[in-house]
Amino acid sequence: MEIVAYGVLADEEPLLHDAFGRAFGGRHELRCLRLFLNRDTAPTAAGHEVVLSSVNATLDADVLRALANGGTRMIAQRSTGYNNIDLTAAEELGLAVARVSFYSPYSVAEFAWALALAVDRRIVRAAHRTREFDFRLDGLMGRDLRGRTAGVVGTGKIGAAFARIAHGFGMRLLGWDVAENPDCLALGMEYVERELLFAEADLVSLHVPLLEDTHHMVDARMFALMKDDAILVNSSRGGLVDTDALLEALRAGRLSGVGLDVYEEEAGVFFLDKSLEVMTDERLARLMTFNNVLVTSHQAYFTRDAVGQIAETTVANVVDYFAGRTSDNTLVRAPAA
């Protein structure tokens, strides 16, 4: 049987093939495609019982119906997030769906800190200057983080890893989540209402999933509460931040720095080369004009450790499907035979 994987990045492909080979030993073949799975590309999955999707796939009811009509019975998503999948439609169509519920939290937490430090210390601007042999320090002044307040929105595995690093910097820790994490409490974190966290934090880092309740959780009201010189980092999901409200705050000269590894309209843009095209997304283009904003292309998870774990877990999900098993990664069970 041939299994097809969509949205596979060049550095990801060998890790996926290695995991696949160890699991199946030649019993199945893996074909990796760069294109993303969506309405236009769904017909290419015809005849494939199992497809491996990426976080930038569009798996709405129409796409899922096309997959099911083409013979697909199982979708293994190579990410933790699954807000791009219509799970209700998948269940109605008899499609099994699984995700990667866990991989190295340090990959994302460490990258979130890389963004925070880069915007605090003006690293990108400094690097551009020195490449032109301009060694002035004008406009590059940052500030110590020791003794300041880090607000961690979402204190699961990634948020807790971020908090441990903040603790190492000697920062005061504020947290917000639906449940308190004992590991974070042990660091001295104080859990507070979300409004108080945004009002008091010098650095706010987002680590919650994108749900109906968290969509645009960082809106105009929250920006109004933040300190004028606060730093905002989002390495979770783009839809957590209301981009229009963020642009309004930036235009007003507020916020010391913003680090974004995700963007709410990133589908069809991130992971692709758009350098020879006109950027038609005016909000993204506008964000790029602010010298205190750093945008990266959803790469926080992209370490050999994390991607290797994602590949191993994805293949394990496929093995479970063939064996008729479910696990904590199962989002929609396969229909009973």
Distances (CA, A) of 205 to 112, 158, 163, 202, 238: 7, 11, 10, 10, 13
Distances (CA, A) of 198 to 166, 176, 264: 16, 10, 20
Task: Respond yes or no: is residue 298 known to be catalytic.
Answer: yes
Helix (H, G, I), strand (E, B) or coil at 139: coil
Are 233 and 203 a contacting pair, CB within 8 Å? yes
Q: Give the pLDDT confidence score for residue 56 in this predicted structure.
A: 86
Task: Respond yes or no: is residue 237 known to be catalytic.
Answer: yes
Rounded to whole angstroms, how far apart are CA atoms 159 and 163? Answer: 6
Q: Give the pLDDT confidence score for residue 337 in this predicted structure.
A: 65
Distances (CA, A) of 208 to 138, 175, 213, 262: 36, 12, 11, 13
pLDDT digits (tens, 9 = 90+) for 295-318: 999 999 999 999 999 999 999 999
Which of 172, 237, 264, 312 is catalytic? The answer is 237
Which of 78, 122, 172, 298 is catalytic? The answer is 298
Q: Give the pLDDT confidence score for residue 26 in this predicted structure.
A: 85
pLDDT digits (tens, 9 = 90+) for 156-190: 999 999 999 999 999 999 999 999 999 999 999 99
Are 88 and 65 a contacting pair, CB within 8 Å? no
Which of 12, 49, 200, 266 is catalytic? The answer is 266
- Per-residue pLDDT tens listing for the chain (337 residues): 999 999 999 999 999 999 999 999 989 999 999 999 999 999 999 999 999 999 889 999 999 999 999 999 999 999 988 989 999 999 999 999 999 999 999 999 999 999 999 999 999 999 999 999 999 999 999 999 999 999 999 999 999 999 999 999 999 999 999 999 999 999 999 999 999 999 999 999 999 999 999 999 999 999 999 999 999 999 999 999 999 999 999 999 999 999 999 999 998 899 889 999 999 999 999 999 999 999 999 999 999 999 999 999 999 999 999 999 999 999 999 987 6
Indicate the pTM of the whole model.
0.91
